[in-house]
Chains A and B, each alone.
Chain A
Amino acid sequence: MQLESMYQEIILDHYKHPHRRGLREPYDAEVHHVNPACGDEVTLRVRIEGGRVADVSYDGMGCSISQASTSVLTDLVVDQPLEQALAVQEAFLSLMQSRGQAEPDDDLLEDAVAFVGVSQYPARIKCALLGWMAFKDATAQAASRPVTSEGVTA
């Protein structure tokens, strides 16, 4: 069954037991992204403190791929310097556009390498990217906010 290349154990684990799910305070930006082709939705918040990603919280509905990839995202970017988090985001985007041909950087992408199988199914690439594109959007919005005297974006 070719299907196992898409639904790897890691992905199914994250789907059944998502990490950091739910919307939390405080946050610097909140975005709502949808996949119009299938109606999947995610609301995602980011909290940036001192140039690091302090928290990513999210809620939404979608398929196993979109839900698992958002869960994996939070593992990889929370507690990382923002610059590093964005590098991971870029690497994941490249992986998903590789049509299964990429040799992903295990050190950088960790569990996210499991999604290489998904990249072979063009209709599902947008599912895997839903939370990741929301994260990129949210960090950009957080960065464009004025910095308060405490050094925290308002």
Chain B
Amino acid sequence: MTELAQLLTGPPTFDVEALRKDFPLLQRTVRGGRPLVYLDSGATAQKPLAVLDAERDFYELHNAAVHRGAHQLAEEADELYEGARAKVAAFIGAATDEIVFTKNATEGINLVAYSMSNAATSGPEAARFVVGPGDEVVVSEMEHHSNLVPWQQLCQRTGATLKWFRVDDDGRLDTSDVDSVITERAKVVALVHQSNVVGTVNPLDVIAARAHDVGAVVVIDGAQSVPHMPVDVGALGVDFLAFSGHKMCGPSGVGVLWGRRELLAAMPPFLTGGSMIEIVEMSGTTFMPPPARFEAGVPNTAQAIGLGAAVDYLSGVGMQAIAEHEQALTSYALSRVGALSGVRIIGPVTAEARGATVSFVVDGLHPHDVGQVLDDLGIAVRTGHHCAWPLARRFNIPGTTRATFYLYNTHAEIDTLAEGIDAVQRFFS
């Protein structure tokens, strides 16, 4: 570790080297025996043994279809699945019945968007979700496609108008025109909590206050925030929060939609079928209350249980400690990578109100080529527009090279990254 690193680190809040042993994949080598430097947790996080064990344990000992059987295995499966729901609820300060298991954050956001278009043909309780011509849906220029395209599509289906917040040159949300972007016509404001490209953490309080003044619901994409910082939905002041299990050390195939109880209760279903019904007759069907109303079919049971184990693991380390560790890594990466000649950080260049996502461009080089040479050195980063194409256009670049850090990353890995970028420049010079 360099002197600068020591200066910026302060005392470690947990033993990263010991913790890395919990992650079998981090022990492997790549590209001809090089140690893996995994800087792509923003795409998906690696899994600790506790999560792998929880999934395996379910299949080995308790596997049954939940919410159906009366046999012992079914009871055990129910208990584990609902237990995972309770763990996830506690993790974000929610009530258990406000947690809907989905496939991922994308599905959670689509669930809200499709419920809103289904509201037009539902009962009077769903009236506040009806969207039509003259109504407005508000997003931002920094959204991941998963929190942009579903709203574009909602507007297309209903005749509503899409509006958006701009992003300034530092990669911060421009909230100077909040009152003209969110008007009396707004029915929903959908915003990312922490940008997956530039790392910006958005001021949700300012946005939510204005949105609620005009009666709009606030939907937050928490895919990059919930895994990395303490999140308490009681304090956020928003109405819906969607996130993915696989980005927070959990399995792929499970995500979460949290919604305020009274809103979920008034929302019509998105996917329909088994498990979500109350009474079915040939002429029609009534639906269960939430969360069952939004979980049609046999759910991703083992994955949800794995996610429960993941939040136990993260809570064991401590979300505040993880956030502080990532802050230290981010400060260090911004100073090391930012100091390289011919390299430009895209996004906030200081660590305040931003997360551990550091995007950069190298003069004269395409991100794909940068990533390819880094890969040859064993460094896994992501390259391209990161599913946020309008943001790349906003900065007039084809994309970025993006390094993302998590609880298991080290200052030494950032040194390797900085040296790697230097090697990239030499390779193409």
Give the contacts of A63-99 with B (CB-CB under 8 A). 63-65
Please give the distance in Å from B419's CB to the nearest CB on chain A: 15
Tell whether B53 is near chain A: CB-to-CB under 8 Å.
no
B362-378 vs A: 1/0 string, CB under 8 Å?
00001111001100100
One of A1, A6, A64 near B366 (C-beta < 8 A): A64
Known: A38-B384, A39-B385. 19 other contacts (CB 8 A): A7-B372, A7-B427, A12-B428, A38-B367, A38-B368, A38-B385, A38-B399, A39-B389, A61-B366, A62-B368, A62-B398, A63-B367, A63-B369, A64-B368, A64-B369, A65-B368, A65-B369, A124-B368, A127-B368
Residue of A nearest to B398 (CB): A61
Interface membership of B316, Cβ < 8 A: no
Chain B residue at minimal CB-CB distance from A40: B398
Q: Does B54 contact A (CB under 8 A)?
A: no
On whether the beta carbons of A124 and B376 are closer than 8 Å, the reply is no
B residues less than 8 Å from A124 (CB atoms): 368, 372
Checking A37, A39, A65, A121 against B392 with a beta-carbon cut-off of 8 angstroms, the contacting residue is A39
The residue in B32, B367, B368, B392 that gathers the most chain A C-beta atoms within 10 A of its C-beta is B368
Residues B427 and A3 in contact, CB atoms below 8 Å apart = yes
Most buried by A among B31, B369, B376, B428: B369
Determine how close the nearest CB of chain B comes to the CB of A14; give it in whole angstroms: 13
Size class of B's contact patch? 10 to 19
A148 within 8 A of B: no
> A83 CB to closest chain B CB, in angstroms?
33
Q: Is the interface of B mostly helix, strand, loop or mixed?
A: helix
CB-based closest 8 A-B pairs: A63-B368, A63-B366, A38-B384, A3-B376, A39-B385, A64-B369, A61-B398, A63-B369
- B378 CB to closest chain A CB (Å) equals 12
**A to B CB contacts below 8 Å, 20 in the list:** A2-B31, A2-B32, A3-B372, A3-B373, A37-B384, A38-B367, A38-B383, A38-B384, A38-B385, A38-B398, A61-B366, A62-B366, A62-B398, A63-B368, A64-B366, A64-B369, A64-B428, A65-B368, A65-B369, A124-B372
Indicate the size class of the contact surface on chain A. 10 to 19
Q: Is the CB of B384 within 8 A of A39?
A: yes
Quick one: CB contact mask for B64-82 with A, threshold 8 Å, 1 for yes?
0000000000000000000
Closest partner residue, chain A, to B393 (CB atom): A39
Chain B residues, CB < 8 A from A1: 376
Q: How far is the CB of B364 from chain A (nearest CB, A)?
A: 10
Q: How far is the CA of A2 from the CA of B373 in the complex (A)?
A: 10
Q: How far is the CA of A12 from the CA of B427 in the complex (A)?
A: 10
Give complex CA distance A69, B73 in Å: 58
When distances are taken between beta carbons in the complex, the residues of chain B under 8 Å from A6 are 372
Please state if B398 and A39 are interface contacts (CB–CB under 8 Å). yes
From residue B159, how far is it (CB to closest CB) to chain A in Å?
Answer: 28
Interface residues of A in 3-31 (CB under 8 A from B): 3, 6-7, 12
**A62–B383 CA distance with the chains assembled, in angstroms:** 12
Closest A-chain residue to B389, C-beta based? A39
**Distance, CA A95 to CA B231, complexed state (A):** 50
**Chain B residues, Cβ within 8 Å of A3:** 372-373, 376, 427
CB distance from A127 to the nearest CB of B (A): 7
Residue of B nearest to A61 (CB): B398
On chain A, the residues within 8 Å of B376 by CB distance are 1-3
User: Which residues does chain A contribute within 8 Å of B383, judged by CB atoms?
Assistant: 38
**Would you give the shortest CB distance from B384 to chain A, in whole angstroms?**
4
Residues of A within 8 A of B392 (CB): 39
- Chain B residues near A62 (CB, 8 Å)? 366, 368, 398
Query: Which A residues touch B369, using CB under 8 A?
Result: 63-65
B377 CB to closest chain A CB (Å) equals 9
